[in-house]
Amino acid sequence: MESICNDLAPVLRLVGIVVKGIQIVVPIMLIIIGMLDFAKAVTEKDDGKIKDAEKKLINRAIAAVLVFLVIFLVSILMKLIGNKEYEKCMTCITSPFSDSCPSGFDVEY
């Protein structure tokens, strides 16, 4: 299992970077788009549009929280039902910038 983790470390690290990017960028974008929609509705001064924009903003904020927490929930489930051998490989996905993830470039020729 150790050699598999070392061999796949660059790929797992890339997956981890993409996952962290999604975990950070998507919630921020959802909240910004919701705020822009709400600001547009407020400037039009239409009560119906304001209520619709408010509902959209709340739904987008909930979606942003859920997107942010998905990785956390999956890692908790994996710790509860998974075995201990995968943890070294999962370190590269959950913490792609840490030193505990093997670089994968330490190959001797």
Structurally, how many domains does the chain consist of? 1
Q: Which amino acid is at 6?
A: N
Distance CA 72, CA 25 (A): 16
Instruction: Provide the sign of the torsion angle of the four alpha carbons 92, 23, 15, 82, taken in this order.
Output: positive
Domain residue limits at 19: 2-94
Residue 45: left (phi > 0), alpha (psi -120 to 50), or beta?
left
- Residue 108 within a domain: no
How many CB atoms within 10 Å of residue 22? 14
Residue-wise pLDDT for 10-69, tens only, equals: 888 888 888 888 888 888 888 888 888 888 888 888 888 888 888 888 888 888 888 878
First to last CA, the chain: 22
- Residue 100 within a domain: no
Residue 2: what pLDDT? 62
pTM of structure: 0.67
- Residue 102 within a domain: no
